Structure 1
Amino acid sequence: MTAELVRGQNHPLPGTRLEIRVSAGTPVVAAATLGDAEGKVLGAEWVAHPGTPALSGLEVSRQATADHRIAVDLDALPDAAHRVDVLLALPTPDATRAGRRGPARFGAAAAPFVTVTDLSGAEIAHYTLTGLDAETAVIALELYRRQGAWKVRAIGQGYAGGLAELLTDRGLPEAPSLARVIHEAAARSPARQAPTPPRPSGSEGDRTRQAVTPVLGPDPAGTPPQGAGPGPEYEAEYGDPGAKPTLQGADPGQPAPAQPLPSPPPPPARSPSRPPEGGPVDYHHPRRRTTAPAPTQPPPPAASPTPPGRPARPVAGDANGWSMDERLYNQVWGMFEDLARSVAAYRSAVAFADSRLDKELDQVLSDPRARVGGQGDTARESARARHERLVARAQEVLDRDLAQLATEAEAVEAALPPAYARWDSPVWHGYRVPVEMPMALRLGDLRLPEAGHVPIPMLVRLPLERGLWIDSGHTESPGDPSADAHGPRSLALETAVAHTARLLAAHPAGGFTVHAVDAAGSGARTLARLVRAGVLAAPPAVGARGVADVLTRLTQRVDLVHMAVRGGAADSLPPGFDTSRQLLIVHDFPRGFDDRAVNQLRYLADEGPSYGVHLMMVADREDCAGYGPLLDPLWRGLLRLTPVADDHLADPWVGHAWTYEPALVTPGSQVLARVLDRVAAARRSVGR
């Protein structure tokens, strides 16, 4: 069955000899780039285009036409190539026959349609590149290798600056000249020459393999590209990633652990000669860029989609990134920065107005003449009126920014995938266990008092770089396990179960294993959800002995993987070794834990994330005060969350205290049970 892809979606490829068919409705220039394991194009010799139509394992058309057939043999690609990007560009006037001018942008032409087929012509996947506007070049598809298997992903990332901007984005320093060569070669081609499928590669023993230095140019055992020379080696470089906000504990009564917000990957470097982007949407931030820059000539008033002076309605995925997943992630944290800056500007303006009012009132009181007649009252009224005007002006600007952010948040929320979405989102009704881990995970929402109606999803990068500490509240009756059957401790454990379900749902089948420790057995009722679904590796460990057994197994696992990685023998782990990531839920801490167990927890918190073991502590620091300084490193090493809304997250970037709201399931909803059942079913199918 043919897969109908949408932007950002991927699909496995059943074979390695393929044909990519392009139907554009208007002449387009087709090209393709090879990328290494990090997606970098190492030089111009890794670009197949009309001037150099054939690389080892890849061949494109020689001229600009409305239909293209691109032949791909993935087995014949250079060993260092892990990705193939298919590029489409509108030709320059000279690249069309008789200089006939075609559409000036993709938005003025029919949406291009690309199909991936096998050599028999059977369709594997197809993708319609919708949503293009001012772009004149676009990355249509990418074929990429993941864990030895090849997949196709729909990209649809456009560039208004054409091929020059696209190739610059890929890190090629000679992008403008290469783009000119491509268009000139397409213009010189007298007739279309359909590419033939490339010859299969030779035996594995005939191919030169380089584990560190990528192989540039053709495969030594394959057919050399036509017209390919020994061109220089280029290395892709990216722009300044920029500093992102870091949340730190702001509890006035005790030092809280640092709470880092994830930072998106660095945006690709842009050509300095390109006109500034932004279009009609003003995000007030230098690193927020849209994919469709404003045209160099303003459109006529009748063609304007929005009334003059009003910003265009934001759309989801309107940010930099190679996939829709990455674009949404970058857009969410761009919204966070915009909200932080807007509120900071408002608070600064109000503080200035207050300071100015105090100064003017002091001057009135210090002037003896103001005490005679009504001069003093008039001066005070004038000062208060100026203060009100300043505050009203600041509020007006804030309301304008918040209205734009609220509109963007609404559009983004509706487009978020399950890993980023709220539990009440309709996207969970169609949930399927993913084939690969997403870029990030939603742990809740962030709000500011001035903008309580604009929640910003709190996303953390996957795999987790640190464990989680979920505050459970102080237990007044530690000897009675049932004292908190419906109190804060039970709510904290429910929060931990919801976060665990999200982590399980975000990983491929069998890629995430969960353990639970409940020394006193007080969390059995809440943990029963995980037990009934069958997603736990074993029943929750109870008693001091059970705690010791689980901690010993996980610390030994970290030691074993650490030694294997350090010794360069990561592929020599014992047979049957579980390579999935591990999560340990610790409930009722510190009951059942001695000093040795606490040290093991500290070790797992410090070293575990690097070797696939993560902690989720459900505890209260006041209950753990008896451990003193022994517990401080563990407390500081985990990301502190709460089961109720709380403003414990501080932002040293602009000095805000953000209110964190956990991502909880709506009472009475069955979405959590359905998701866990599907995860368990997928795990069983993998285990068979």
Structure 2
Amino acid sequence: MTAELVRGQNHPLSQARLEIRVSAGTPIVAAATLGDEQGKIHGVEWVVHPGAPTLPGLEVSKQAAADHRLAVDLDAMPEAVHRVSVLLALPAADGGGPTRFGAVPTPFVAVTGLDGTEVASYTITGLEAESAVVALELYRRQGAWKVRAIGQGYAGGLAELLTDQGLPQAHQLAGGINEAVAQGIARSIPAPPPRTDGDRSRQASAPARGPEQGGPASQGAPGPVPPQTSPYGTRTPDGPGQPTQPNSPYGSQAGMPGQPGPQQPYQGGADATDPAQPSASASGGAINYSHPRRQHAAPPPPPPTAPPAQPGQPARPVAGDATGWSMDERLYNQVWGMFEDLARTTAAYRSAVDFADSRMEKELDQVLSDPRSRIGGQGDAAREAAQAKHAQLVNQARETLDRDLAQLTAESEVVEPALPPAYARWDNPVWHGYRVPMEIPMALRLGDLHLPESDRLRIPMLVRLPLERGLWIDSGRGASLDGSFTDSHDLRRLAMESAVAHAARLLAVYPAGEFTVHVIDPAGSGGQALVPLVQTGVLAAPPAVGAAGVADVLARLTQRVDLVQMALRGGAPDSLPPGFDTSQQLLIVNDFPHGFDDRAVNQLRYLADEGPAVGVHLMMVADREESSGYGPLLDPLWRALLRLTPVPDDHLADPWVGHAWTYEPSLVPPGSQVLQQVLSQVAAARTHYR
């Protein structure tokens, strides 16, 4: 039976291996401090946080999230540790989120066993101006462990909290934690939209209804539909479930944060400023960007079911077996399910290997510390036994991983050929039958992702539309994974070709007239890469060159952002000037900072910060080192953009466990004419639309 604690109350812990589950409803930072018998923290090495997420017996997530799962193994705690304090904090204010717990849902913390059974729970009430709080405390008393509800908040944030705990380097450590969280947000792949309460309560027996049947209208996000089973757990409409890995030292989902919450950083959602959304009322809201000839179709039939499998064998995968109103939605959810499954099964494998390593090291230390084991062959036998146990654990973990990889590979082999153009690679035959769409898809493919343990398995990297972050195509030498790409000229050419491919895909998946591309190329160095866009006539105007061209384009786009913002703030979104272009806008900037003065740099930052919310998106093709002369002025700009590379690089992180994923750009195969053919159709459709 669960003990529902109040502040100051304690409860005994009968299990050594536990999870501490945190649910906050908004992205928060989770950390923990270790204290000795007097509660003293001996230094920063006794603090586990997103920048240093693991210590013996304790693991926290690497980034801010609405839900966290902290893995705890009390038996693995060093003997000097007698107290573990669980800390929660809101990210730094410059992230644009809430700055006090009084403005967010009440945090809930639960201590559970590995099977998910709650041992004790605590709802942290009474917080107002505080931005950091000591939630729980696990403490050792007379050889037994207990949990105590603390709930001590600090208006001064992590720095004040750590100072109160007696850490001399409190301010430096708090700054380091905030920086680690900011970096995690900047490199995190946007998560799927959050699950609503309706998704949790929807019964499988209740058939989904469409707009024409009295149900909710589909607006680019999956409807509340029942979960789909998977070999790795249960996949829900906003992403899959969680894999069960018996070989993890902490049990399933060791040290893994939970599902993304309602305000996961940079995540898309149906309530974002979306060109597919209905017109706002006179009281304010999003502008009506809908296509005049667009119509909603009735919901499609239920997703296909997999053919029966042989007894004892996993079900054969089927493309589109996830939930959703349309096939695009089902495939989108299925791809995200594969992504999460691979992230979590790999995390369980790595955790199991780490546990095997630490166990063998501990056993070998015990052998060496006992003089009696050095007599005769006892020491050699003990070492061989420890190594045998290590090999057994690692082999078991690898077998489980290989089984899951085989199932995911089989699923990928049936899903990849079934993807629509917005989700497909450029070499997919679906592009040969391309037609300009009448509907905006849910998402866009920007490349592929893979992990070292599964190098052959590629997961499509899908981001929701409309884009909620600008894109930065890194043309610097740091964009090369192994540093072997030393020719800066070729790397810049590849970066610009990658930008053109991304822009062409965006143009191709939007209905005619609903997407406009502008290009700033001050020195004309991107002329060769821009040929497909220029020759087919899909650009709004020829690429702007020189300082005058830079100033003109930036002035027009910043004025556009100002006009739309004023209309929205004034509660009159339909009062824009006659003939105002309501299509989504993309600005491609090449060779930054060449041709940019201080005013232009500030306008660029303004577009990156304010533009996405009103349909103006930024794509930078730049080497960050070349703009270092501006100092920290541009740091917020780079953090606001999603960094992509023209060559494989392992700089992206998933929103669940924070793995470093190798990203591979989506480039047109050499010699292929698919880009020109697609853009020619887009140009013809634009001419007919006008």
**TM-score greater than 0.5 by the shorter chain:** yes
Shift of 1:369: 2.6
The 1:573/1:401 distance shift into structure 2, 3 A limit, reads same
- Equivalence for 1:142: none
- How far apart are the structure 1 equivalents of 2:602 and 2:492? 24
- Equivalence for 1:349: 352
Matched, 1:466 2:481: no
Matched, 1:506 2:506: no
Partners of 2:189 and 2:655 within 8 A in 1: no
- Equivalence for 2:191: 262
- Equivalence for 1:282: 231
SS of the residue corresponding to residue 459 of structure 1 reads strand
Amino acid at match of 2:634: L
Question: Could you give the per-residue CA deviations for residues 26-84 of structure 1, whole angstroms, max 9, x where no partner exists?
Answer: xxxxxxxxxxxxxxxxxxxxxxxxxxxxxxxxxxxxxxxxxxxxxxxxxxxxxxxxxxx
- How far apart are the structure 2 equivalents of 1:332 and 1:541? 38
Partners of 1:306 and 1:312 within 8 A in 2: yes
- How far apart are the structure 1 equivalents of 2:389 and 2:406? 26
Partners of 1:513 and 1:536 within 8 A in 2: yes
Amino acid at match of 1:269: D
The 1:407/1:254 distance shift into structure 2, 3 A limit, reads closer
- How far apart are the structure 2 equivalents of 1:258 and 1:450? 21
Across the aligned residues of Structure 1 and Structure 2, the Cα RMSD in angstroms comes to 3.2
Gaps of 5+ in 1: 1-247, 296-302, 476-482
SS of the residue corresponding to residue 539 of structure 1 reads coil
The 1:394/1:664 distance shift into structure 2, 3 A limit, reads same
- Equivalence for 1:567: 570
- Equivalence for 1:320: 323
Shift of 1:258: 4.3
- Equivalence for 2:556: 553
- Equivalence for 2:275: none
Task: Indicate the larger mover: 423-432 or 317-326.
Answer: 317-326
- Equivalence for 1:411: 414
Question: Could you give the per-residue CA deviations for residues 650-672 of structure 1, whole angstroms, max 9, x where no partner exists?
Answer: 34632311111111111111111
Matched, 1:394 2:397: yes
Partners of 1:530 and 1:536 within 8 A in 2: yes
- How far apart are the structure 1 equivalents of 2:180 and 2:473? 15
- Equivalence for 1:363: 366
- How far apart are the structure 2 equivalents of 1:563 and 1:278? 42
TM-score of the aligned structures, taking structure 1 as reference length: 0.58
Shift of 1:485: 8.4
- Equivalence for 2:26: none
- How far apart are the structure 2 equivalents of 1:462 and 1:272? 26
Amino acid at match of 2:231: D
Shift of 1:536: 0.7
- How far apart are the structure 2 equivalents of 1:664 and 1:401? 29
- Equivalence for 1:641: 644
The 1:607/1:663 distance shift into structure 2, 3 A limit, reads same
Partners of 2:561 and 2:610 within 8 A in 1: yes
Shift of 1:345: 0.6
The 1:460/1:618 distance shift into structure 2, 3 A limit, reads same
- How far apart are the structure 2 equivalents of 1:591 and 1:487? 18
Shift of 1:367: 2.3
The 1:249/1:259 distance shift into structure 2, 3 A limit, reads farther
SS of the residue corresponding to residue 524 of structure 1 reads coil
SS of the residue corresponding to residue 319 of structure 2 reads coil
- How far apart are the structure 1 equivalents of 2:568 and 2:226? 45
- Equivalence for 1:452: 455
SS of the residue corresponding to residue 406 of structure 1 reads helix
- How far apart are the structure 2 equivalents of 1:272 and 1:430? 37
SS of the residue corresponding to residue 592 of structure 2 reads coil
Question: Could you give the per-residue CA deviations for residues 346-388 of structure 1, whole angstroms, max 9, x where no partner exists?
Answer: 0111111111111111122222232222222222112111111
SS of the residue corresponding to residue 376 of structure 1 reads helix
SS of the residue corresponding to residue 397 of structure 2 reads helix
Partners of 1:445 and 1:455 within 8 A in 2: yes
Match of 1:610 among 590, 609, 613: 613
- How far apart are the structure 1 equivalents of 2:683 and 2:528? 19
The within-5 A match list for 1:19-38 is none
Partners of 1:249 and 1:255 within 8 A in 2: no
Match of 1:625 among 628, 644, 653: 628
Amino acid at match of 2:366: Q
Amino acid at match of 1:262: A
The within-5 A match list for 1:563-602 is 563-602=566-605
Partners of 2:188 and 2:652 within 8 A in 1: yes
The structure with the largest alpha-carbon Rg is 1
The within-5 A match list for 1:48-127 is none
Q: Percent same amino acid among aligned pairs?
A: 71
Amino acid at match of 1:551: L
The within-5 A match list for 1:61-210 is none
- How far apart are the structure 2 equivalents of 1:285 and 1:370? 49
Partners of 2:190 and 2:655 within 8 A in 1: no
The 1:389/1:608 distance shift into structure 2, 3 A limit, reads same
Shift of 1:575: 2.2
The 1:370/1:341 distance shift into structure 2, 3 A limit, reads same
- How far apart are the structure 2 equivalents of 1:255 and 1:281? 29
The 1:250/1:495 distance shift into structure 2, 3 A limit, reads farther
Partners of 2:448 and 2:664 within 8 A in 1: yes
SS of the residue corresponding to residue 520 of structure 2 reads strand
- How far apart are the structure 2 equivalents of 1:444 and 1:250? 27
- How far apart are the structure 2 equivalents of 1:504 and 1:498? 10
Question: Could you give the per-residue CA deviations for residues 433-458 of structure 1, whole angstroms, max 9, x where no partner exists?
Answer: 00111110000111111111111111
The 1:570/1:304 distance shift into structure 2, 3 A limit, reads closer
- How far apart are the structure 1 equivalents of 2:653 and 2:622? 21
- How far apart are the structure 2 equivalents of 1:254 and 1:473? 19
SS of the residue corresponding to residue 381 of structure 2 reads helix
The 1:568/1:270 distance shift into structure 2, 3 A limit, reads closer
- How far apart are the structure 2 equivalents of 1:254 and 1:338? 24
Equivalent residues, number: 426
Amino acid at match of 2:314: P
Shift of 1:262: 3.4
- How far apart are the structure 2 equivalents of 1:487 and 1:508? 34
Amino acid at match of 1:346: Y
Partners of 2:367 and 2:382 within 8 A in 1: yes
Partners of 1:320 and 1:330 within 8 A in 2: yes
